[in-house]
Amino acid sequence: MLRTTRALLTALVLLTAAPQVQAAEKGVFFPETFTLSNGMQVVVITNRRVPVVTHMVWYKVGAADEERGHSGLAHFLEHLMFKGTDELPPGAFSRIVAKNGGKDNAFTSWDYTAYFQSVARDRLELVMRMEADRMANLKLTDAVVYPERDVVMEERRQRVENEPADKIGEQINATLFVHHPYGTPIIGWPQEMAAMTREEAEAFYKRWYAPNNAILVVSGDVSAEELKPLAEKYYGTVAAKPVPERKRVSEPPIGAERRVILRDAEVRQPSIRRLWHAPSYRTDKDGNAYALQVLAEIMSGGATGRLYRSLVVEQKLATSAWLGYGASSWDDTTLSMGATPAPGVDMDKLEAALDAERTKLLKDGVTPEEVATARKRMLTEAAYARDSLSGPANALGQALATGQSIDDVESWPVRIDAVTAEQVNAAARAVLGKNNHVTGLLLPANHKGS
């Protein structure tokens, strides 16, 4: 259920792209949209290829909206949303979806919480009725809440504390974001998770879960004309209510390089990663977000990317090398670089080579030819995004939950196609030229140095 990595957020960015390559025009998913009388936004992406739909409800609240000292509450509530209403006993929601041949799940991020079902077209009304029911009528008792708290704490032990890569990732985030809630893990800190109560979960639910703070996205074998009566029948009857403004602290200026080193007996493959603060779509004041996406494609676009070609193919220092950036975030996001060493390669040597690539980029920049090739490749790779059922629903839901508009999503190809080499170089200097980054080294327990 938990989505803790920004790798997922980077992958979703590629879905907001153009169906045309040679002439980038406005238009990606061509959604229809309307708003219910209670303020709930509804988005429909029609795809008639198969009689199946993906139904998603996105709440504009996530782990970064928790009160300080109550980490993990948003993700905890995600679990509790499956614990029933007066109409459905605990666990019945998923059982009914499965019995009707569908799949369902949910995930929590720092900025949103989403619930989804993939079902046959003739089962759409069923899942809409159940989802609208738990939007308004969740019933929590001590008997279901506290055992589920134990489940979530075990999830943390299995997914974070027993996984060195996730463990160091958590520590890197906490070191990069020293004040902003993005430095707090989505699943929560263990001592705060252990103190979560039914009353806190109920208060969080009543504060944030409302139709006017939610987005319904349906992708598949349905049109807006067909969906609207069902949306009005089920979601339209849920009363709107006041929702708090999102208030988050800003990150203080930090000009120091920082290092996080984790030595663990479970590590079989060491790695290095380095993170910088970077603007998201919403916080981008200098027009760098689209240029950074092109930069990521130039540096990390598969086997032809600069980092892979240099570190893996030519120097044979690494088995993988990458640069990642995801622009969909309510507040500032991150840009990251990393690599895993080839057998026998010293980590200090790999780090020096990775840093040399950054220095070369900042000094010499990228060429217009590289930018043109990257733009074309991005548009080509994304040309088939609309063929997916879940992909468009994920992309639009994420975008709308983090402050973008449908017009922003549909304008993506035009904006990417307008990126120049000068803009990419300026964006690289603005982010990679700073020394406020965090370097994380994941090493075997007996590793010496660094």
DSSP letter for 2, please.
B
Q: How many CA atoms lie within 13 A of 133 on its CB side?
A: 17
Q: How far apart are CA 320 and CA 165, in angstroms?
A: 15
Q: How far apart are CA 362 and CA 300, in angstroms?
A: 16
Q: How many CA atoms lie within 13 A of 39 on its CB side?
A: 13
Q: How far apart are CA 148 and CA 341, in angstroms?
A: 40
Q: Which residues pair with 264 in a beta bridge?
A: 444
Q: Which residues pair with 324 in a beta bridge?
A: 336
Three-state DSSP state, 182: helix
* Residue the block writes with tokens 């019933």: 139
DSSP letter for 196, please.
-
CA nearest to 257, candidates 390, 431, 434, 85? 434
Q: How far apart are CA 23 and CA 414, in angstroms?
A: 9
One-letter amino acid for residue 285 of the chain? K
Does residue 262 contact residue 168 with C-beta atoms inside 8 Å?
yes
Which of 66, 78, 131, 370 is catalytic? The answer is 78
78 is catalytic: yes
Q: How far apart are CA 102 and CA 225, in angstroms?
A: 24
H runs (alpha helix) in 283-420: 289-300, 306-307, 347-364, 368-382, 390-401, 406-410, 412-417
Q: How far apart are CA 160 and CA 153, in angstroms?
A: 10
Name the residues annotated as catalytic.
78
